[in-house]
A = this chain, B = another copy of it.
């Protein structure tokens, strides 16, 4: 009965326009597959864009919030898990997802990718940031995949989690 959960991680305040467009599209595609979207839950950046995309396609959205401030929850989050753990919640994000997508890169996202790999979770990097690709494939080659578009992320998920 347990649903498949796809975690989409990425920058908040520092997300680029490209990151946000990719996140929105990822949200749509994840919802269209009938999968649950999990994000960091805030009303900003990749978290917010992915959640809005998923809602546009009638998906279910879970947000794992770092604080207990409910005014920072994205309107597009259906179920807010209020952790009040600060960045320690990043480990919950990755443990609760069947696959983790890094949509863009930043310090929080880097910690999530590292924790995901530490926990033997498959990670898909949707970024053309070459140093990220080299660093993480160097640390855990078997678990890291690189995608060039939201559509190819979905194809990779189907291969990685049959």
Contacts and interface: CB of A to CB of B under 8 A. Distances in A.
Contacts of A77: 1-2
Interface in A59-104: 62, 64, 68, 73, 75-92, 95-96
A95 B108 contact: no
B62 A79 contact: yes
Given A95-B68, A107-B140, A115 B131 contact: no
Nearest to A84: B86
Interface string A1-31: 1110100000000000000000000000000
A110 B92 contact: no
Nearest to A107: B118
B87 A85 contact: no
Contacts of A64: 81
A84 B73 contact: no
Contact of A92 (B2, B3, B81, B105): B81
A117 B2 CA distance: 31
B96 A139 contact: no
Contact of A68 (B36, B76, B86, B139): B86
